[in-house]
Structure 1
């Protein structure tokens, strides 16, 4: 089994320079979160669960359990040692999937509409595309998600700094699962706004600061994903989808499927954030440009 650390490769390099210990904070799907004494979280995932923005890749037997919650792990320049498993550093590969400061064009309205239609055609209920039938709890969550999303877009259009910060704060941690829908949406928004020439730096700074200030209100996994997004690091499928749509590729279906296949609704929630990012950059007013998840020609 290959393991990928979602933490930046630079953070892993730093952590492994000297002897130290870490504690297994949480375990899920054969993956672990390691907490250093300094407070930093180092997350290790099985490949594709999710496809990590950057980090450490090691080879292990399929199904092998790394460690249990509360277990002390030894870190050194040569190995990461659990009670029953040792990851040899010389068998690992450090990787970075960063777009750095790369700037990308904003696709045309027609192309954005194609993207919106493909996402909507395959979307399932449970987040931004309607509630699950007869599920009162989910219905309430969906209402809150849509309210936060609408408030963020309106505040952006009105250049309301306080409104942008408040709406972003409402979305963080909103939803269920390892990466709540509100977080996935914000990751998609970051993905587009971080790399668009037309992005308003002042507004983007407010979004990023609000995310940074409220990370502790969401899950450990989502914290790691959002931190990566703040640092312009993304999973390979997300990176490929952004580049394909921004450059108006002849087809984006293959890379779209790779993103949509992630999690129950995580992929489509991230795509929704990407879509809203492009629409905001096109200066399409909410009231006549984007209604009920459909792009309406101005």
Structure 2
């Protein structure tokens, strides 16, 4: 519960946990937006922190509160309200969010190979509507439509060592996190998850230096932060759970994969399906890339 301290002068909120990426951030902070499951706070021009309601996992820049504390804070804060984050916590006047005692490292682990068939069976059983291409399972059926074929080709080109630009896709589609941004995050999740691609990641970055530097001019502030984290292999806990399930080896991982796919489909209006679209495109691209005669 929210606790009143210092004779009702301050209202203290105690986070349950936070992403390691939120540690050490200081400076002026502004309430950017308030939603039913997330409160977005902006530090400086583009750095985002998200206060989250428990039960939704943790985003790469998330801080989790109990449901009661989250709802109280959402009622008391207003978009545009200015505060400060320092060694004492996040302070908006009398509202004080203490520094978390528990931080989670959300870096994805590359422990196995993507199990393509398991993933596609789970998608076929779970449904889901993408923001740009309709039904998820149908969108991933081969032959793909011309736009998805082009994305698959770019993934293969990148795997082959070429420099690829994604600028025309960044910010494309509906949503607070535009559909294609979510798809790029799904692509990056699988690139970081598959142990066969570790060497490729060491050779060059996924985004060009120019487009990465100008992400804030191409898409929303929320997407900028998600894409920046994904480019470093840092993802939300629901995506990390999917990564572990889809790169597993036991029979029980098929059940886990379906459960994780359904969990991700519940995120946002189209965001979950759009992210899974990116996962599926990497599965298809990897299959073609690895089966080329000159690939050892």
TM superposition score normalised by structure 2 = 0.72
Preserved contact between residue 149 and residue 171 of structure 1 (Cα < 8 Å): no
Correspondence 1:280 to 2:285: yes
Correspondence 1:242 to 2:243: yes
Please state how far the C-alpha of 1:23 moved relative to its aligned partner: 2.2
Correspondence 1:31 to 2:38: yes
Change over 3 Å in CA distance of 1:15–1:213 after alignment to 2 = closer
Preserved contact between residue 17 and residue 103 of structure 2 (Cα < 8 Å): no
Distance 2:89 2:156 in 1: 50
Distance 1:201 1:243 in 2: 19
**How many residues matched?**
260
Please state how far the C-alpha of 1:221 moved relative to its aligned partner: 1.7
Q: Once superposed, which parts of structure 1, at least 4 consecutive aligned residues long, lie more than 6 Å away? A: 1-6
Secondary structure class of the residue paired with 1:118? helix
Change over 3 Å in CA distance of 1:234–1:211 after alignment to 2 = farther
> Which residue does 1:212 correspond to in 2?
212
Change over 3 Å in CA distance of 1:99–1:202 after alignment to 2 = closer
Distance 1:180 1:49 in 2: 20
TM superposition score normalised by structure 1 = 0.72
Distance 1:49 1:103 in 2: 24
Secondary structure class of the residue paired with 1:98? coil
Preserved contact between residue 184 and residue 278 of structure 2 (Cα < 8 Å): yes
1:63-121 deviation line (CA, Å, top 9, x unaligned): 222522221112231232224522123xx344224235x323324xxx51342132134
Secondary structure class of the residue paired with 1:198? helix
Please state how far the C-alpha of 1:210 moved relative to its aligned partner: 6.6
Distance 2:243 2:78 in 1: 37
Change over 3 Å in CA distance of 1:254–1:97 after alignment to 2 = farther
